[in-house]
Protein backbone atom coordinates (compact mmCIF):
# COMPACT_ATOMS: atom_id res chain seq x y z
CA UNK A 1 0.00 0.00 0.00
CA UNK A 2 1.44 3.34 -1.02
CA UNK A 3 1.83 6.38 1.22
CA UNK A 4 -0.70 8.22 -0.94
CA UNK A 5 -3.33 5.52 -0.36
CA UNK A 6 -2.69 5.69 3.40
CA UNK A 7 -3.15 9.47 3.39
CA UNK A 8 -6.31 9.18 1.29
CA UNK A 9 -7.60 6.49 3.64
CA UNK A 10 -7.14 8.77 6.66
CA UNK A 11 -8.74 11.76 4.91
CA UNK A 12 -11.65 9.64 3.68
CA UNK A 13 -12.24 8.32 7.21
CA UNK A 14 -12.44 11.85 8.54
CA UNK A 15 -14.79 12.92 5.78
CA UNK A 16 -16.96 9.88 6.46
CA UNK A 17 -17.23 10.82 10.14
CA UNK A 18 -18.23 14.38 9.21
CA UNK A 19 -20.80 13.04 6.74
CA UNK A 20 -22.22 10.77 9.46
CA UNK A 21 -22.62 13.73 11.80
CA UNK A 22 -24.31 15.85 9.11
CA UNK A 23 -26.74 13.10 8.04
CA UNK A 24 -27.57 12.14 11.63
CA UNK A 25 -28.16 15.77 12.63
CA UNK A 26 -30.32 16.42 9.55
CA UNK A 27 -32.49 13.36 10.22
CA UNK A 28 -32.83 14.15 13.93
CA UNK A 29 -33.82 17.76 13.22
CA UNK A 30 -36.66 16.56 10.98
CA UNK A 31 -37.85 13.70 13.17
CA UNK A 32 -40.26 14.04 16.07
CA UNK A 33 -39.79 10.46 17.30
CA UNK A 34 -37.59 9.52 20.24
CA UNK A 35 -35.83 6.82 18.23
CA UNK A 36 -32.26 6.87 16.85
CA UNK A 37 -33.49 7.22 13.28
CA UNK A 38 -30.40 9.18 12.18
CA UNK A 39 -28.08 6.32 13.07
CA UNK A 40 -30.37 3.85 11.30
CA UNK A 41 -30.36 5.98 8.13
CA UNK A 42 -26.57 6.28 8.25
CA UNK A 43 -26.07 2.55 8.68
CA UNK A 44 -28.60 1.65 5.99
CA UNK A 45 -27.10 3.97 3.40
CA UNK A 46 -23.55 3.02 4.33
CA UNK A 47 -24.32 -0.70 4.14
CA UNK A 48 -25.94 -0.34 0.74
CA UNK A 49 -22.99 1.63 -0.67
CA UNK A 50 -20.47 -0.82 0.82
CA UNK A 51 -22.36 -3.71 -0.79
CA UNK A 52 -22.35 -1.83 -4.08
CA UNK A 53 -18.61 -1.11 -3.89
CA UNK A 54 -17.93 -4.74 -3.04
CA UNK A 55 -19.99 -5.93 -5.99
CA UNK A 56 -18.22 -3.52 -8.33
CA UNK A 57 -14.83 -4.67 -7.03
CA UNK A 58 -15.80 -8.34 -7.45
CA UNK A 59 -16.90 -7.58 -11.02
CA UNK A 60 -13.45 -6.07 -11.64
CA UNK A 61 -15.01 -2.62 -12.21
CA UNK A 62 -13.43 -0.88 -9.22
CA UNK A 63 -9.71 -0.72 -8.54
CA UNK A 64 -8.57 -1.98 -5.13
CA UNK A 65 -7.20 1.39 -3.95
CA UNK A 66 -10.58 3.05 -4.67
CA UNK A 67 -12.41 0.24 -2.86
CA UNK A 68 -10.04 0.57 0.08
CA UNK A 69 -10.32 4.36 0.35
CA UNK A 70 -14.07 4.54 -0.27
CA UNK A 71 -15.08 1.36 1.56
CA UNK A 72 -12.69 1.15 4.47
CA UNK A 73 -11.91 4.86 4.77
CA UNK A 74 -15.05 6.83 4.02
CA UNK A 75 -17.66 4.20 4.89
CA UNK A 76 -15.66 3.05 7.91
CA UNK A 77 -15.88 6.61 9.23
CA UNK A 78 -19.48 7.03 8.08
CA UNK A 79 -21.15 3.90 9.46
CA UNK A 80 -21.30 3.22 13.17
CA UNK A 81 -22.04 -0.13 14.75
CA UNK A 82 -20.89 1.08 18.17
CA UNK A 83 -23.38 3.95 18.25
CA UNK A 84 -26.19 1.66 17.14
CA UNK A 85 -25.29 -0.76 19.93
CA UNK A 86 -25.09 2.01 22.51
CA UNK A 87 -28.47 3.38 21.43
CA UNK A 88 -30.02 -0.09 21.68
CA UNK A 89 -28.70 -0.50 25.24
CA UNK A 90 -29.96 2.98 26.11
CA UNK A 91 -33.43 2.05 24.86
CA UNK A 92 -33.38 -1.10 27.02
CA UNK A 93 -32.33 0.99 30.04
CA UNK A 94 -35.30 3.27 29.35
CA UNK A 95 -37.48 0.14 29.34
CA UNK A 96 -38.40 0.72 25.70
CA UNK A 97 -37.94 -2.93 24.81
CA UNK A 98 -39.90 -2.88 21.55
CA UNK A 99 -37.88 0.11 20.30
CA UNK A 100 -34.67 -1.61 21.41
CA UNK A 101 -35.58 -4.77 19.50
CA UNK A 102 -36.52 -2.76 16.43
CA UNK A 103 -33.27 -0.84 16.61
CA UNK A 104 -31.01 -3.81 17.32
CA UNK A 105 -32.50 -6.64 15.32
CA UNK A 106 -34.26 -4.48 12.76
CA UNK A 107 -31.09 -2.59 11.93
CA UNK A 108 -29.09 -5.82 11.71
CA UNK A 109 -31.56 -7.42 9.31
CA UNK A 110 -32.16 -4.28 7.25
CA UNK A 111 -28.48 -3.38 6.86
CA UNK A 112 -27.66 -6.93 5.84
CA UNK A 113 -30.47 -6.88 3.26
CA UNK A 114 -29.46 -3.55 1.73
CA UNK A 115 -25.80 -4.61 1.65
CA UNK A 116 -26.89 -7.71 -0.25
CA UNK A 117 -28.95 -5.58 -2.62
CA UNK A 118 -25.97 -3.31 -3.25
CA UNK A 119 -23.77 -6.36 -3.87
CA UNK A 120 -26.21 -7.78 -6.42
CA UNK A 121 -26.48 -4.43 -8.21
CA UNK A 122 -22.68 -4.03 -8.24
CA UNK A 123 -22.14 -7.51 -9.62
CA UNK A 124 -24.72 -6.89 -12.35
CA UNK A 125 -23.12 -3.64 -13.47
Give the Å distances, CA to CA, from 115 to 49, 81, 107, 121.
7, 14, 12, 10
Per-residue pLDDT of 27-36, as tens digits, reads: 999 998 889 9
Rounded to the nearest angstrom, the gap between the alpha carbon of residue 121 and the centroid of all alpha carbons in its chain is: 17
CA distance 3 to 1: 7
Annotated binding site for Na(+), which residues?
A: 76, 79
Annotated binding site, which residues?
A: 76, 79
Would you state the pLDDT for residue 1? 84
Per-residue pLDDT of 79-116, as tens digits, reads: 999 999 999 999 999 999 999 999 999 999 999 999 99
Would you state the pLDDT for residue 76? 96
Is the separation of the CB atoms in 97 and 106 below 8 Å? no
Amino acid sequence: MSALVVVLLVVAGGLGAVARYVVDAAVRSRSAVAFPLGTVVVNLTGSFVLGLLTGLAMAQLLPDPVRLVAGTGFLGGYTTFSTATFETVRLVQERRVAAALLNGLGTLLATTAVAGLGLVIGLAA
